Amino acid sequence: MTHGKEHPAYLAHHFSEVEQQQESAKLGMWIFLLTEVLLFGGLFCFYTIYRAWNPDMFYNAHKFLNVELGALNTVVLISSSVTMALAIRSMQLNDRKKTIWFLVITLACAAIFLVVKYFEYSHKFHLGQLPGKFYTFTGVQGNNPHIFFSVYFTMTGLHGIHVLAGMVAISWVLYRTVKNNFSAQYYTPIEMTGLYWHLVDLIWIFLFPLLYLIG
């Protein structure tokens, strides 16, 4: 307003330029991602310390995770990251149709991820490989194997909640893309959702080897 330039509808009153608004959003998003890293940080610390205390138990217990399903989920999530990135790229090129398609694929991948997780979880529930005091499985050698499953469920559980939240965010930007809210000039919400989604992927990239491969 101060500049007397025309100001588009998406420019909030307290910013003077679109540029400033976009960069603020991005900065805010990155700081938010930082808090997410530290939120998961507590769980990584949990993992590291108990693994260092009971390496053998962790090793024995991790064999009960299904590497194939874990790997499948890794592939699914990585693919969804690619399509997410491409969705943004298409928007930058003003190709709204493609953006919509890529977002839909991303959403589908997220859903596949959760379905696979569902099967993994229900199999474990069935065997009594439950966290904490509900643990009734007897096949793991070593002290306190229930702790491994506590780690497994808290880490993948919190991650799963993030996937779910990501799906909500993606659906929302998808809806807004369909409603033609975005253009090559303004697509900040998609970009933010993308950043979030890549972080969710990034965390999984660590969870997969830590839990499934090396216990």
Partner 1 sequence: MSEHSKSHIHILPLKTYLSVGAALLVLTAVTVGVSFIPLGGFNVVVALSIASVKALLVALFFMHLLYDKKIFMIIFAVAILFLALFITFTMFDTMRRGDIDVMQAAPIEKDAVIYKERGSDSTAVPSGIIPDSVTTAPEGH
Partner 2 sequence: MSENIALARNYLNTPRGLKSWLLTLDHKRIGVLYLIAIMASFFLGGVFALLIRWELLNPGRDIMGPDTYNQVFTLHGAIMIFLFIIPSIPAALGNFVLPQMLGAKDVAFPRLNLASWYIYLFGALFAVYSMFSSAVDTGWTFYTPYSTETTTSVISMTMGAFILGFSSIFTGLNFIVTIHKLRAPGMTWRQLPLFVWALYATAIIQVLATPVLGITLLLLVLERVFGIGIFDPAMGGDPVLYQHFFWFYSHPAVYIMILPGMGIISELIAVFAHRKIFGYNAIAFSSLAIAFISFLVWGHHMFVSGQSPLAAMIFSFLTFLVGIPSGIKVFNWLATLYKGSISFATPMLYALSFLFLFTIGGLTGIFLGALATDVHLHDTYFVVAHFHYVMMGGTVMAFLGGIHYWWPKIWGRMYSEFWAKIAAVLVFIGFNVTFFTQFILGTKGMPRRYYNYLDQYQPLHAFSSIGSWILGLGFVVMLVYLLHSIYRGRPAGSNPWGALTLEWTNSSPPPPENFDEAPVLTHGPYDYDKVLVEEGSPARA
Of 79 and 154, the one with the shorter C-beta distance to partner 2 is 154
In the block, which residue shows the tokens 């509808």? 9
* 27 is a site residue for partner 2 (CB under 8 A): yes
CB of 45 to partner 2, least distance (A): 7
CA 60 – CA 44 distance, rounded (Å): 19
**Interface mask (CB under 8 A) for partner 1, residues 74-103, using x and -?**
xx--xx-xx-xxx--x--xx----------
In the block, which residue shows the tokens 């696979």? 116
Of 49 and 115, the one with the shorter C-beta distance to partner 1 is 49
In the list partner 1, partner 2, none, the entry touching 74 (Cβ below 5 to 8 angstroms by class) is partner 1
- What Rg do the C-alpha atoms of the chain give, in angstroms? 21
CA 61 – CA 15 distance, rounded (Å): 54
Of 12 and 93, the one with the shorter C-beta distance to partner 2 is 12
Which of 97, 133, 168, 180 touches partner 1 (CB under 8 A)? 133
* 39 is a site residue for partner 2 (CB under 8 A): yes
Distance from CA of residue 191 to its chain's centroid? Answer: 15
Helices (H), the chain: 18-53, 55-62, 67-92, 96-127, 145-178, 188-207
User: In the range 95-124, which residues lie near partner 2 by CB under 8 A?
Assistant: none
